Amino acid sequence: MIIPKPRSLTPATGTHRLDATTTVAGPAELVAPLRRLLGPGTGLALERSEAATLRVVHDPGLPAEHHVVEITPEQVTLTCADPAAAVWATQTLRQLLPPEALSAGATRTEWELPCLRVEDGPRFGWRGVMIDVVRHFMPLRDLYALVEQLSLHKYNVLHLHLTDDQGWRFECRAHPRLHTVGGTRPESMVGPDGPVDGTPHGGWYTQDQLRSLVAFAAERGITVVPEIEFPGHVEAALTAYPELAVPGHAVDRVRSAPGISDYVISTDDASLAFVLDVFTEVLDVFPSTFVHVGGDEAPRTRWLASPDSAALAEQRGLPDAGHLQRWFTEQLRDWLAERGRRLVGWDEICDEGPLAGAVAMAWRGPEKGVAAARAGLDVVMAPVTATYFDYYPSELPEERRCIFGLTTTAEAYAFDPLADLDADSAARVLGTQCQLWTEYVPDLRRAEYLLWPRACAHAEVAWSDPAGRSFEEFGQRLAGHVARLDALGINHRPETGPLPHQQGGTGVWRRGPSAPPAEEPLALAEPGV
């Protein structure tokens, strides 16, 4: 019935009727999510009244995000730990109504809820989806739509990947060429060997647009975690400001091709000051405690070949220029900590040993997260083996081209973020997140196809206790849940295979390889992170 599966659901006899006479009562900060989320699709005014039959109760004794939904013929009571819990309780109510109650406009004025009691709360505090808005820019209105979809599934983190080799999407007022120059590439390449489309592609978000997104998401229980990528994946930044590059290694255009670039920033004092200027503005826009700095796939090639970098390493007392990234990331960690924030980085930040105080986002495999947790770091589990939804969703030849790989809905559902961890280490796993890199995802419709229903499965992994869950039982609930996706107009993928208009066809989007080139190890072949 409900996705993700609640901790406890006890059916009862009868139904509760919602109609024009239904009123609400409760603390304003808890009633607001109910009215915001339930009103549009049902058409109910939900005016406040002390005699209300729809009541929201604050219980500070409940753990964070926990809630109880109790429906009797006479009354609906939502007991909530906090405003986020009120969002999740409301999302449960919406899923208990007919699918059309999820639409943007009301189709009728009377509704019935089944009588029951739901006691619920999340398994993990970090339940995230990463969206790459660099490889293909996603208009702001589409991000609003995505936030609505994530909130329905009780995700609470939107990880926004804002900068990379192929573009810069964050308005930087101190260094505006980052977005005015680095925000547009001359063309895009479909696949590592072409073809190219010959069409400029770009866009960026103003700081005020992003503040609006942050507020919109917060009203729906979601924190937006920004990612500004350094010291690698920086060709867009180097195009805008060549002086950031390792001396003698400037670039003259924003990168069009996917893959890993060996261009990096120099990490000298001037480039560090520049990066801190950028992050100063990022912190002003995003209140999130967690700030992602990337840190992955930064080849040491240009540092190790540079006499200037060798001298810089010696000046800093480092063994060689290959250790400049670690030094640089430590500076970012300390700078963020002084401002009450925490650095998050892809698991390469631990390649020279655990980076104390940082959060490791384990992407190259769950074993990277296991090692970091055992070493005392907080961890977000996001491995390519189960959470990369830019991978093919099936082996069917009709699938539209993806980057490579395979992650089925069943494989996403089978993932256990705490596998191979003892109790102490498991306590350091903040949660899990799925990734959608967009080299092959030009628009929201394609993003929806790749996310849903795999993200339905991952949302349940992130929220629900594994005890008593099974993919077979999940599939029964999913069969009913797709009607909700349809009511929302989401271009989801049928589990039986893509519809004709979702297929790759015989053109440039026809299905490509299912594995990376043999000469590239999987851990380095994913151009997304």
Residues known to be catalytic: 164, 233, 297
Q: What stretch of H or E contains 173?
A: none
- For 13, 92, 135, 217, 349, the CA distances from 145, given in Å and listed in that order, are 36, 19, 19, 10, 33
Which residue spans within 81-173 are E strands per DSSP? 111-120, 126-132, 157-161, 163-164, 167-168
Q: Any alpha helices (H) in 107-226, and if so which ranges?
A: 140-152, 177-180, 207-218
Max Cα separation, the chain? 78
Q: Which two tokens stand for residue 517?
A: 């080139």
Q: How far apart are CA 113 and CA 97, in angstroms?
A: 6
Does a cis peptide bond (omega within 30 degrees of 0) precede residue 139?
Answer: no
Q: Which two tokens stand for residue 63?
A: 């753990």
| HSE (side-chain half, CA atoms, 13 Å) at 180 | 7
Q: What contacts 379, CB < 8 A, 6 or more positions away?
A: 359, 360, 361, 362, 369, 372, 373, 428, 429, 430
Please answer whether residues 508 and 195 qualify as being in contact, where contact means their C-beta atoms are separated by less than 8 angstroms.
yes
Task: Answer positive or negative: Cα dihedral of 368, 371, 376, 380.
Answer: positive
Please identify which residue in the block is written with the tokens 């851990």.
Answer: 523
Q: How many residues does the chain have?
A: 529
Does residue 321 come out as left (phi exceeding 0), alpha (psi in the -120 to 50 range) or beta? alpha
Q: How far apart are CA 162 and CA 96, in angstroms?
A: 36
* Bridge partner residues of 163 (DSSP): 168
- For 155, 159, 334, 390, the CA distances from 223, given in Å and listed in that order, are 9, 8, 22, 23
* Bridge partner residues of 342 (DSSP): 290
Q: What contacts 376, CB < 8 A, 6 or more positions away?
A: 354, 356, 428
Per-residue burial over 378-389, b = 16 or more CB atoms within 10 Å of its CB, e = otherwise: bbbbbbbbbbbb
Rg of the chain over all Cα atoms, to the nearest angstrom: 24
Please answer whether residues 34 and 46 qualify as being in contact, where contact means their C-beta atoms are separated by less than 8 angstroms.
yes
The one-character DSSP state at 201 is: E
* Bridge partner residues of 207 (DSSP): none
